[in-house]
Amino acid sequence: MDSILSIRGVGKTYSSGHRALESVDLDIARGEIFALLGPNGAGKTTLISIICGIVTPSTGTILVDGHDARHDPREARMRIGLVPQETSVDMFETVWSTVRFSRGLFGKKMDKAYCEQLLKDLTLWDKRDAQIRELSGGMKRRVLIAKALSHEPDILFLDEPTAGVDVSLRRDMWKLVSGLRSRGTTIILTTHYIEEAEEMADRVGVIDKGRLLLVDEKSALMKQLGKREMTLTLQEPLSALPAELAEWNVDLQDEGHRIRYTFDAQAEHTGIPSLLRKLGDLGIGFKDLETEKSSLEDIFVDLVENDR
Amino acid sequence: MKGFNARGVLAIYRFEMARALRTIWQSLAAPVITTSLYFVVFGGALGSRIQTVDGTDYGAFIVPGLIMLSLLQQSISNGSIGIYFPKFTGTVFELLSAPISSMEMVLGYVGAAATKSMVIGLVILATASFFVDLNIHHPWAVALFLLLTSFAFSLFGFILGIWAKSFEQLNFVPVLVVTPLTFLGGAFYSIDMLPQPWRTVSLFNPVVYLVSGFRWSFFDKGDVDIAISLGFTTGFLAVCLTIIAIIFRTGWRLKN
Ligand SMILES: Nc1ncnc2c1ncn2[C@@H]1O[C@H](COP(=O)(O)OP(=O)(O)OP(=O)(O)O)[C@@H](O)[C@H]1O
Ligand SMILES: [Mg+2]
């Protein structure tokens, strides 16, 4: 893998004594979208903050495009843009001046055309001379994104980009992310929302209690761990499952109106034909049949539950 | 860090100056009014009794001390707010994640704070010249002391801004330490006028050396030798620089 970011043995114990991150190893491929999925307090923000230089790691090394973040921070940081979880912006600055400030801070020469396009993409152009305190919460988020992108970073971190954001901004955000991706920007985002990871990411890492539980291609993950379900709506409700069905993983639902069959999508024999035949033999009729793939959400909940 | 991020320094400097420009009239009106009041009270009321100190007209005599008083207050407050505010609002994350070294950050913030103080110092000087005749003996020394003091105390303010965890702490040092030291530091009198042991005690007050050196620059006369004053001022600057270097090396109170 051509990795743009390489994390080795990164751990963090806060001064309070709290161990927020165990030894984390992770490689991010150039140009991919990576979703870090985990519940509250899992250590997502801590990991991102360490990579961006805001929190000092207790152990481990980080290479950003081959530059050691500790020994060559300037080269490492120039390549990174961060949209933090909290909306911290300078309230009395105008949109334009704060974006200009960010670009300068990262050592880049002012490029009016680029900044103008950036603000237009984020529908902030009309607000460029407004003070940030006059903007709505969603608009402030856009300003933070504009600031993070002002210096044309190779890697963009989005820490919970869609928390507290309405549908339209969310859609805009995804448009922006796919636009950036097509230009070759690597994107790492954190989220609690599985749909978000499912929709956008190439790969997903599941983190809980400071440990990276698993990292995989989203599609492989869903295939590997994905369970499928088939639900049959019965013509006549059953009071109990016949003993003959014990060899299938079935249960009764909806006061006997439905039978649910859970099976492994990867298995060679799904057991569906034989189950249907058996039902026919038993004279159990059904009027509807549905199958469903388990979502990343189920996978995630499974993983985190097992970890506890 | 290797190299020098000049654009980053400039971005911080411009940001800070723009912030000051938004409130320029308050920033300038306050020192002008205060200075005028000092002249009315000290120069007018007291001056008619004291007349001269060390052969200098009393009105003129207090000018260096007055400027020094404002310089210290302004430098400390400008230097501390500049870094305290981002910490307070959370925007400090951007500074910490930027490819900018600690010394570049100091240069931007402290440079801007010192510039503001020097402008105010010059405005006070201009105001004072409306009230009294000033014949400055060593203009270059005036400029040098203005520069050194502004930088040293803006840097001191910067350290205070990093240290402070609340606005109360931020105000504590200027109000309870610096202002008394300035008033007791010979801003409005020559320490030779004090009876013993207060004269000797005064020599432990660092502000005495600043005021004395500054006064020497104006009138060619000071309470202590000019070399000692200059040595003290540069020494204080060096101490602040060392502290800041240590703070950034350890990430103290800025990073978790
Ligand atoms: N400055 C700090 N000092 C002490 N403990 C901290 C600090 N910051 C975070 N923690 C703790 O470290 C753990 C991980 O926090 P972190 O913010 O990284 O979680 P997260 O995955 O981003 O959570 P969320 O989804 O709620 O944003 C939490 O238990 C948190 O309480
Ligand atoms: Mg977080």
Q: What angle do CA B119, B124, B126 make, to 5 degrees?
A: 95
Residue B83 CA to ligand 1 centre (angstroms): 24
Which residues touch A69 (CB under 8 Å, ≥6 apart)? A51, A53, A61, A62, A63, A76, A77
Tokens of B104: 């570049």
Tokens of A302: 């499974």
From chain A, the residues in CB contact with B88 under 8 A are none
Q: Is B55 exposed, middle or buried (0-12, 13-18, 19+ CB in 10 A)?
A: exposed
Helix (H) and strand (E) counts for chain A?
Answer: 10, 14
Check residue A199 and give its pLDDT: 79
ipTM score for this prediction: 0.88
Higher pLDDT, A84 or B178: A84
B55 pLDDT higher than 80: no
C-alpha–C-alpha distance, residues B94 and B231, integer Å: 37
Relative to the alpha carbon of A41, which ligand is closest?
A: 1
Q: Tell me if A187 CB under 6 Å of ligand 1.
A: no
Tokens of B229: 């004053």
Check residue B44 and give its pLDDT: 67
Sign of CA dihedral A15, A17, A20, A26: positive
Residue B116 CA to ligand 2 centre (angstroms): 38
From chain A, the residues in CB contact with B22 under 8 A are 92
Q: Is A16 on the interface with B (CB under 8 A)?
A: no
User: Among A81-85, B13-17, B117-121, B248-252, where is mean pLDDT lowest?
Assistant: B248-252
C-alpha–C-alpha distance, residues B71 and A34, integer Å: 52
Check residue A149 and give its pLDDT: 96
Closest by CA position to A147, among listed B165, B76, B93, B196: B93
Task: Give the mean pLDDT of chain A.
Answer: 88
H or E element that contains B25: helix B24-38
Per the CB < 8 A criterion, the answer to whether B148 and B71 are in contact is no
pLDDT digits (tens, 9 = 90+) for A124-173: 999 999 999 999 988 999 999 999 999 999 999 999 987 777 888 888 88
CA of A55, closest atom in ligand 1: 1
Q: Which of A36, A37, A40, A45 to mutate to test the pocket of ligand 1 (most atoms within 8 A of CB)?
A: A45
Q: Tell me if B256 CB under 6 Å of ligand 1.
A: yes
What is the arithmetic mean of pLDDT over B22-36? 83
Q: Atom 1 (ligand 1): residue with closest C-alpha?
A: B256
pLDDT digits (tens, 9 = 90+) for A290-302: 877 666 566 666 7
Residue A191 CA to ligand 1 centre (angstroms): 14
C-alpha–C-alpha distance, residues A198 and A287, integer Å: 32
In angstroms, what separates the C-alpha of A60 from chain B's closest C-alpha?
16
Tokens of B132: 């009294």
DSSP β-bridge partners for residue A37: A191, A206
Which residues touch A168 (CB under 8 Å, ≥6 apart)? none
Closest by CA position to A208, among listed A41, A34, A24, A11: A41
pLDDT digits (tens, 9 = 90+) for A57-74: 999 999 999 999 999 999
Helix (H, G, I), strand (E, B) or coil at A34: strand
What is the arithmetic mean of pLDDT over B183-190? 82
Cβ–Cβ of A53/B14 closer than 8 Å?
Answer: no
Residue A56 CA to ligand 1 centre (angstroms): 14
Q: Tell me if A49 CB under 6 Å of ligand 1.
A: no
Taking only residues 97 to 156 of chain A, the set having a beta carbon closer than 8 angstroms to any beta carbon of chain B reads 97, 100-109, 147
Nearest CA in chain B to A79: B99
User: Among A200-204, A226-230, B69-73, B223-227, where is mean pLDDT lowest?
Assistant: A226-230
Sign of CA dihedral B61, B62, B67, B69: positive
In angstroms, what separates the C-alpha of A223 from chain B's closest C-alpha?
38
